[in-house]
Amino acid sequence: MIQILIAEDEKPISDLIQFSLSEVGYRCTCVYDGMAAANIVTERAFDLILLDVMLPEVDGFELMEYIRPLGIPVIFLTARADVQDRVRGLHLGADDYIVKPFEIIELQARVEAVLRRYHKTDRTIEIGGLTIDTYSRQVMRAGAELALTKKEFDLLLLFARNPGIAIYRETIYERVWESDYLGDSRTVDLHVQRLRKKVGWEKQIKAVYKIGYRLEV
């Protein structure tokens, strides 16, 4: 499931965004200040961030400098409609800039457009010599189908949708097993080892010291 971080300090707006995006199938996490946003993006893998510019503690423009190296798509949400602010946001690396107040249907459309641009919603993903059909859950390599378990497929999809990003073991467990991480890394490590062998990514899935794993293709 697509994971979206909503960094918005006005709780009624945050709640409305979370409700509307959850209704169309996205899983949302809300934070209410820039420091909380900075902390959570280093701990969990997100497919998209909706980022208010005027956040307490660390504003959205400052936070963008921190987020940009992580490669996560960002849409700014702000009441600041000045053209210079829009240009600054886009120059900092944001993928879109939405001025408040906005229609929820427009927000949903822009979210979908950015996710599509990053191939987050593609039915077929081609990466590292694999063809992954996200609908049929089939994985092909050199014309042959690979037999993966449900957990192995979900793990593969997490890596394929986040290439080049170091993903924490906690995040892997929470995304693939859909439950809270209890500190036992053996389950994650074992499944990663099996996946590497099955798909031929022994060199592509790299261990990141004290963090987790990163796919390099």
Question: What is the CATH topology of the domain spanning 3-117?
Answer: Rossmann fold (3.40.50)
- Calculate the average pLDDT of the chain: 89
Task: Please write the tens of the pLDDT for every residue from 31-48.
Answer: 999 999 999 998 888 999
Check pLDDT > 90 for residue 28: yes
* pLDDT level of residue 69 (50, 70, 90 thresholds): confident
What pLDDT, in 10s, does the model give residues 54-66? Answer: 999 999 889 988 8
Q: What is the pLDDT of residues 131-180, one digit of tens each?
A: 999 889 999 999 999 999 999 999 999 999 888 888 888 888 888 887 77
The CATH number of 124-215, from 1.20.140.150, 1.10.3720.10, 1.10.10.10, 3.90.440.10, is 1.10.10.10
Please tell me the distance from the alpha carbon of residue 6 to that of residue 43, in angstroms, as a whole number: 15
Is the overall model pTM greater than 0.75, yes or no?
no
pLDDT of residue 7: 97
Do 3-117 and 124-215 agree at the fold level?
A: no
pLDDT score recorded for residue 138: 94
pLDDT for 83 equals 75
74-121: per-residue pLDDT in tens?
999 888 777 777 777 777 888 998 988 888 888 999 999 999 888 788
Question: Would you say 216 and 176 are in contact if contact means Cβ atoms under 8 Å apart?
Answer: no
Domain extent listing, the chain: 3-117, 124-215
